[in-house]
Amino acid sequence: MEVVAKSNSKRMYSWWWDSHNTPKNSKWLQDNLADMDSNVKKMIKVLEEDADSFARRAEMYYRKRPELMQLVEEFYRAYRALAERYNHATVVIHKAHQTIAEELPNQVSFIFGDESHTGADGDPQTPDMRPPIRARGDPDDVPFGKARKGLKFDDGDETVSEYERATKAEAEVAALKDFISKMEAEKEATLAQFEKNLERLSNLESEISRAQEDSTRLNDKASSAEAEIQILRQVIEKLESEKESTLVQYQQCLQRIADLEEARKDAGEVEAETLALKESLADKEAALDNYRQCLTTIANLEERLRKAEEDAWVINERAEMAGVEVVNLKQTISKLTEDKEASELQYQQCLNIIADLKLKLYSTQEETKRLSSELEDEAAKLKFSEEKCTVLERSNQNLHSELDGLLEKLGNQSQKLTEKQTELVKLWSNVQEEHLRFQEAETAFQTLQQLHSQSQEELNNLAAELRGKSQIINNLEVRNNELHEEIQQAKVESLTSVASVESLQEDVSSLKETILKLEAEVELKQEEMYCLKEENSNLRECNETEKIALVEKNLMLENSISHLNIELGAAKGKLNTLKEACQSLSVENHHTAIEKLVLVEFFRQVKSEAEKKSTARKTIDKLIDAETENLQLKSNLLSIRSAKDRLEDRLREKEKELEEVKTEVCKERCRVELWESQAATFFCDKEVLAVHETLNKTMTLEVAEAYNGLKSRSVDVDKRRAIVLLNESIRSLEDYVFVNGPSKGHDSMNESLKVEDMCLRIKAIAEAITEKEKLLLLENSNAYSMLETAMKQVKELKTDSGGGGRSMRKLSGKTRKQSNEIEIVTKDIVLDQTSDGSSYEITSKRDTLELDSHSFFELKPVKTHKTETAVKAKAKGKSLSEESLVVDKLEIFDGFMDPNIEVNKRKVLDRLGSDLKKLENLQITVKDLTIKVETEESEEYATIKGQLKEAEEAVEKLFNVNEKLSTKVESEKDGNRSRRISEHARRGSEKIGRLQLEIQRIQFLLMKLEGEKESKAKSKVSDTKSKVLLRDYIYGGSRSVTMKKTTKKRTAFCGCAQQSTSP
């Protein structure tokens, strides 16, 4: 291949390779021409190099440019030296002619007759006016001084004869004739070289014409490629129209779903739902209008892009870029077909959702027949949920405002994207990969949801099997539980919506950051453009100065070569014009190279802008999904309100029934007491299962967050382990419910006492668990803070490329260890509280309950009811604060039903005493938190300080209320007044529960702020401190570490409680 390349180069530059017939009678001229020959060879070698890509060629151009400039300068120096020697030779010849004319007037005509030949033979060499012996010596030793001294007769000696002078003159004439012959030989050589130069110029013109033909051919190819691009764009538009049709079908499915949901509602709610649907349709139409506007802007941008492409594709790489663009458009067509298939799958999923909604409609119609009373507290909870919904609506409005701001920013950015859309199709491959990753994450999340739904379905099946066996269960309790479950579902849905809104806010913040980064990049690119323009202007100025210098040099050369003949002058004029043409071509090549570099930078900017646009589209889609979720929440709230109205009507009816039941309660006192004890056991089991359910929920949340952050399967193992632990805890509860039942004996009195003792202990366990459920919320907040610190560690470990895998494994092990610690702590809390609170409760209530033989034989169906309520609690999952309020209601119910005033007083005093302890613990925690917060001075801590002051005031008020109620209970003897006081005590305990939740929320916020400030080493210390605070909060600072260890090692105090074992 090298031989072929050399032969081609020789054929291409034959005008140079054939121009080596240099005259050999001048050593200096031969050396100078050899230097020029080597320089020309180097220039040809540099120009012959080629590259595969445009960027490589541009790099070669800028790298070889100084070398070419150096060679041109050397070539110019050689040419200038030749011109100077030629000028010097002409001056010498003129002086010699003058001396000959003075000394030999007889030969003047002959010499001046040959002067034209000498002028024609002007060659850039200094002919040394030496004698013939030194003709090939040093050219700088010019002996004209000697010649003139020999020719000046006036200054010489008078004794020199004319004969000697004549001989000297003849010798000088002979030397001049030899020099003239040499000059004529050199003249012929230069003429031959000039003819070869003309041939070279003709070859260059032919090459230029061929290059122009190649450029026209490439232009034709580019036009054909643009036609193919237009065809592919038309195909893309067709696919987009099909996508719009599928979106219309999807909207129709949503409309059908809304119609099915309307069937669940009464006639009074139809108008409100139609208004909501109209608003949702208006929002969707607005979103579609925005989408259409985006499409129109994209079409306008594509038209402008086409114009820019027509102007830009002038260089040789135009056909290659068009081919790449065709390939990318084919990829977009394949992606759009995939989007179409995905939309069809969504349509099928909508049909499945419609079928599921029909089934849910049928099930809800059956459930609405069984709803009942006890809605006083539920109305407050519904108001709380409505307040949450209003907060969500406000956050949604804020998101809308942020979306409008983003849309305005996108409009501004779209104006900047008018000239930067040529390589937008190249980004679809990256978007497709991200979409696949997102689909994988969604499939993993759906598998987790399927596992959770399967567990719920299994529990529902068990509940259905146990419902057939339960015969003596009170309908009021069942309906109350179902109402709690529906409200919990609404709260869970609201929490999911809050999480989605937070994720959207994070996406919006990330979009803002990307927009800022893109603006910074755009500014950098503009600065680079300005720098390139300045360099271009500098180069143009240099070219102009060089042109001016060349013009001046050409004038000097024309003046120096004025004595040459007319043909040589005409040829020289042609040569100058050709040089100017070559210079203009080089300048044009320089400009085209600069334009190529500018286009490369332009394409990179377009890529970044396209990425930003794709992220903006994703955020718009997420916001649309959030709006649909909010609409669903609104519809659910409307259904809950309608159910509330219906339940209030039924509550009024049931109040009448309760009045009738109260008359019968006094007659069946023993039976009611047995039911109360059974209800206590049921609530105990239910609350234990609720604790496990909360643990399960926290573990599932940890699994989801760890999956999104770490993208590993270790968290799935933790979730399975948590499910296994939950199943084992349920089995243990079922074992002690079914195994530790009462056995028939001979003495009915002893059996009744045993059953009474067992019921009292179970009731004590229920009260202890209600106390600890509130504490579990604090532990969950600690777990969340630990999880956030772990997520921060994961983010820091992701940046570290060295120890990535080891740190991920350590972190997964750490999360497992934390989850196990949480579970062990909750089990120990349950056993400690039951063991501490049982002794007092057993002694205080042993004398109040009496059982007969008839009620004793009704224990077996109660067990089934206990398991049923436990399964329901596991399947639906109540919040801990609600469970504590239910237990308080149970105790109030005891107070209402018990006619013995002394027993009621004792119960109310017990309640007030427990509330007093709670208030003391709350006061201690509030003081600790205020001491912590006083050192900080940020805005977030200022808001927390205000909340702590409000909490202190509320604690003081509750202290005063508790003291007043305790004094009234001790002084009052009337039954009606004691009932009122018990009602006030119940309300006070509810307020204390709410205050506990508020303080726990403040503690969670403080832990979150501390976790953001501290490093990894300090995060471990904060975890230990949070555990110590939790222990102090649980035990009120009255227990030591040794006491805690002994309580953990304590054995089971009752036959119905089973000791917790680690899995």
- The DSSP annotation for 219-249 comes to HHHHHHHHHHHHHHHHHHHHHHHHHHHHHHH
What confidence score (pLDDT) does residue 871 get?
A: 37
What is the average per-residue pLDDT within 212-223? 76
What confidence score (pLDDT) does residue 318 get?
A: 63
Give the Cα separation of 997 and 1002 in Å (integer): 9
Asked if residue 112 is part of any domain, the answer here is: yes
* 8 A C-beta contact, residue 904 and residue 982: yes
Q: Among 208-222, 230-244, 765-779, whose mean pLDDT is lowest?
A: 765-779
Asked if residue 575 is part of any domain, the answer here is: yes
Q: Which residues of 26-41 are buried (b: 16+ CB within 10 A; e: fewer)?
A: bebbeebbeebeebee
What confidence score (pLDDT) does residue 474 get?
A: 63
What confidence score (pLDDT) does residue 379 get?
A: 64
DSSP-based three-state secondary structure for 51: coil
Where helices occur in 417-474 by DSSP H, the ranges are 428-469
Asked if residue 906 is part of any domain, the answer here is: no
Degrees, nearest 5: CA angle 172-173-177? 120
Asked if residue 398 is part of any domain, the answer here is: yes
What is the average per-residue pLDDT within 178-202? 78
Pick the last residue of a domain from 623, 649, 675. 649
What confidence score (pLDDT) does residue 991 get?
A: 86
Query: Within a 10 A sphere around the Cβ of 8, how many other Cβ atoms?
Result: 11
**pLDDT exceeds 70 at position 792:** no
Q: What is the pLDDT confidence band of residue 123, given thresholds at 50, 70 and 90?
A: very low
Degrees, nearest 5: CA angle 492-498-500? 105
Length of the chain: 1063
Half-sphere exposure of 1 (CA within 13 A, CB side): 0
% of the chain at pLDDT higher than 70? 51
Maximum average pLDDT range among 117-126, 597-606, 777-786, 963-972: 963-972
Pick the last residue of a domain from 649, 664, 683. 649
Q: What is the pLDDT confidence band of residue 823, given thresholds at 50, 70 and 90?
A: very low
Q: What is the pLDDT confidence band of residue 787, given thresholds at 50, 70 and 90?
A: low
Dihedral angle of Cα 359, 365, 367, 371, to the nearest 10 degrees: 160
The residue with greater pLDDT, 131 or 241, is 241
What is the average per-residue pLDDT within 396-417? 72
Asked if residue 615 is part of any domain, the answer here is: yes
Query: Within a 10 A sphere around the Cβ of 918, how many other Cβ atoms?
Result: 21
What confidence score (pLDDT) does residue 668 get?
A: 66
What is the average per-residue pLDDT within 235-244? 77
Number of H helices, E strands in the chain: 26, 0
Q: How many domains does the chain divide into?
A: 2
Give the Cα separation of 171 and 160 in Å (integer): 17
Q: What is the pLDDT confidence band of residue 103, given thresholds at 50, 70 and 90?
A: confident
The residue with greater pLDDT, 947 or 972, is 947
**pLDDT exceeds 80 at position 84:** yes
Asked if residue 623 is part of any domain, the answer here is: yes
- pLDDT tens readout for residues 425-434: 666 666 677 6
The residue with greater pLDDT, 151 or 778, is 778
**pLDDT exceeds 50 at position 14:** no
- Token couple for 762: 């179970």
Asked if residue 287 is part of any domain, the answer here is: no
Q: What is the pLDDT confidence band of residue 1062, given thresholds at 50, 70 and 90?
A: very low
Kindly give, in sequence order, each residue whose CB lies less than 8 Å from that of residue 819, ignoring residues fewer than 6 positions away. 698, 699, 702, 718, 722, 783
What is the average per-residue pLDDT within 712-723? 57
Pick the last residue of a domain from 203, 220, 237. 220
What is the average per-residue pLDDT within 750-758? 52
- Token couple for 256: 């059908």
DSSP code of residue 132: G
Q: What is the pLDDT confidence band of residue 1039, given thresholds at 50, 70 and 90?
A: very low
* 8 A C-beta contact, residue 340 and residue 239: yes
**pLDDT exceeds 80 at position 12:** no
**pLDDT exceeds 50 at position 125:** no
What confidence score (pLDDT) does residue 713 get?
A: 56
Burial of 122: CB neighbours in 10 Å, binned 0-12, 13-18, 19+:
buried
Asked if residue 927 is part of any domain, the answer here is: no
Q: Which domain holds residue 136?
A: 12-220
> Which of 1018, 936, 969, 877 lies closest to 455, judged by CA?
877
Residue entry with tokens 């609409």: 631
pTM here is 0.22
What is the average per-residue pLDDT within 237-258? 76
What is the average per-residue pLDDT within 448-476? 68
Kindly give, in sequence order, each residue whose CB lies less than 8 Å from that of residue 1057, ignoring residues fewer than 6 positions away. 736, 761, 765, 831, 834
Q: What is the pLDDT confidence band of residue 86, given thresholds at 50, 70 and 90?
A: confident
**pLDDT exceeds 60 at position 307:** yes
* 8 A C-beta contact, residue 487 and residue 378: yes
What confidence score (pLDDT) does residue 192 get?
A: 81
> Which of 817, 826, 827, 825 lies closest to 787, judged by CA?
817
Extended strands (E) in 758-860 = none
Give the Cα separation of 968 and 989 in Å (integer): 17
Q: Among 490-494, 789-793, 887-891, whose mean pLDDT is lowest?
A: 887-891
What confidence score (pLDDT) does residue 897 get?
A: 41
The residue with greater pLDDT, 724 or 523, is 523
DSSP-based three-state secondary structure for 114: coil
Q: What is the pLDDT confidence band of residue 194, given thresholds at 50, 70 and 90?
A: confident
What confidence score (pLDDT) does residue 825 get?
A: 38
